[in-house]
Amino acid sequence: MSYISNRANLAAQLPSKSVAVFTANELMPRNGDEFFPFRQQSDFYYLTGIDAENAFLLIAPDYPDESMREILFIEPYDEVKVTWQGEMLDAQQASEISGVKTVKGSDAFWMTLNDIAFSGYGDIIYLNSYEYPKYECTVETIQQRFNKLVKERYPMHQFGRTAPILNALRMVKSDDEIKITQQACNITAKAFRRCLETVKPGMYEYEVQAEIEYIFKRNNATGHAYAPIIAGGKNACCLHYSKNQSLLHDGDLLLFDIGCEYRNYSSDLSRTIPVNGTFTPRQRDFYNAVLRVMKEITQLYRPGHCINEINETTHRLMEKEMIQLGLFTEEDVKRQDPEKPLERKYLMHGMSHHIGLDVHDSIDKFKPFAPGMILTCEPGIYIREEGIGIRIENDLLITEGDPINLFEGLPTEIEEIEAAMQR
């Protein structure tokens, strides 16, 4: 991974006399004296490759002393911590991983920032934050606390945001990032194939999840990229269903929305299969409607198109399919409330998002696609009154020509799914 070039690309977009500061993530409390497994903050990882807490990064492109233009701060050695939790990262290891030549202890961060902020070469302090328009969280993150503290310590300085710069940079993946994402997709595909061999009536959703997690762990994935959705029957009509506790019934469909995280990079796959291995005629009609639309909109994953165009095209195509399926008529469409289109009752989500270090890497609906971007393609249909929910999703790499499906070869056609389940 070229963390050096990632930092250089960020530094090139900072104005003169500015300094950008970043904090690593922290351990999140679980209960009692237990913590959730550590996961690094995505931008910090993108810039350093460091997977440890109690760390900082400072980038000051104009500072006269070249050794101070990039500084990584890591937690000082703690013998007690090593005894209980294992070896800690040292300065040489941190430098080798990140490519940052100057590595200091994290206890030197504030004094170093003082030197740069008051030197005349750090008049603008760039702070990092997670800026995803649909995300709300009542828990204050370490980033938010850190940013407040910086503003309190330097009230007379100007401040800027690194998120817009990094969001744009992270949209286009390097060759290394593409290879890692492909491996994440390969592992997720293996997990789905195992489910095709094992799913049957009488299982519980959590048993299916266990099969998936077994493959993830056996192939060195760090875990799920997001809470897995294993939704049988009507549960599939809840878009973010994640209880995964229900019994799987003969005759129902089972919707998967799963993805492993490998080396901090995400995959995102959706498939819908019949619990008993055979689609009913009605289920086939709904499934093929979604699949036809998916094939058509996949052709729009080319340079110059955008997510907004994907969404608008999908809703227009799905409306036609829904009329053919008998969910409403053309006359009903003519009389519908323009603010409440009838098709939105059965398809209520967007069709695409960028993926990378975050499963929802960006949601810029109007940014034209460019080679190196990786996005999902995920049309669906949800008929609550019939207990049918169908979603089909691939991860697509944008190229100069046709998109590359990172799940190429994975059963998608009805005949492929039924054949795999019958084996």
Which of 170, 194, 220 is the C-terminal boundary of a domain?
A: 170
Q: What are the DSSP E strand ranges found in 53-209?
A: 56-59, 70-74, 102-105, 124-127, 158-161
If asked whether residues 195 and 269 sit together in one domain, one would say yes
* pLDDT in the model for residue 218: 97
If asked whether residues 160 and 176 sit together in one domain, one would say no
If asked whether residues 154 and 233 sit together in one domain, one would say no
* pLDDT in the model for residue 256: 96
* pLDDT in the model for residue 86: 85
Task: Give me the domain span that covers residue 292.
Answer: 172-422
43 SS3 class: helix
Q: Give the CATH number of the domain where residue 20 resides.
A: 3.40.350.10
Average pLDDT (230-239) is 97
Which of 142, 170, 198 is the C-terminal boundary of a domain?
A: 170
pTM here is 0.95
In total, how many domains does the chain have?
2
pLDDT tier at 363 (50, 70, 90 boundaries)? confident
Q: Return the minimum-mean-pLDDT range out of 106-115, 137-146, 227-236, 274-283.
A: 137-146
Q: Give the CATH number of the domain where residue 332 resides.
A: 3.90.230.10
Which of 145, 170, 195 is the C-terminal boundary of a domain?
A: 170
**Backbone phi, then psi, for 60, in 5-degree steps?**
-130, 85
Average pLDDT (58-64) is 96
As a whole number of angstroms, the distance between CA 46 and CA 357 comes to: 8
Determine how many CB atoms are found less than 10 A away from the CB of residue 185. 28
